[in-house]
Amino acid sequence: MSSAPQLDIDHVARLARLALTPEEKATFAAQLGSVLHHIEQLARVDVSGVEPSAHAFAVNNVWQDDVARPGLPVEAALRNAPAQRDHMVVVPKVVE
C-alpha cells in the first residue's frame, strides 16, 4: 500500500516526539497509509439499519449484591506483616 498523500509523517512524528530516520519514515508512512486505507473501507460500509450500541452484546449488571460478611480475623490479616503492634501493621515514619 502506498502512503496517503495527505499524510504528513514529519508532523505525526513531531506530535509523538519521535526522531525517525528516513527509512523509518518511509516504513511508518506506508503502514499508516495502510491503516487509513482500511478505515476508509470501513467508512463506506452501510450501517443505516444498525442501531448504535456501546457493546456487541447486552450488558447486564454483573455486580454481586452487597452483602455484609465477616472479614478476616486480625491474626490472619496481620500474618504476613513484617512488624505489628496493637493489632496494626507498623511501618516506617515517612512524614516528620
CATH of 9-43, one of 1.10.260, 1.10.1740, 1.10.20, 2.60.40: 1.10.20
Residue 5 has pLDDT above 70, yes or no: no
Q: What is the pLDDT of residue 1?
A: 46
pTM, two decimal places: 0.45
Q: What is the pLDDT of residue 61?
A: 78
Q: Are 7 and 28 in contact (CB under 8 A)?
A: no
Write down the domain spans for the chain.
Answer: 9-43
Phi, psi dihedral angles at 75 (to 5 degrees): -60, -40
19-54 pLDDT per residue, tens: 999 999 999 989 998 999 999 999 999 989 888 888
CB atoms within 10 A of CB 1: 12
Q: What is the pLDDT of residue 54?
A: 82
DSSP 12-64: HHHHTT----HHHHHHHHHHHHHHHHHHHHHHTS--TTSPP-SSSS-----PP
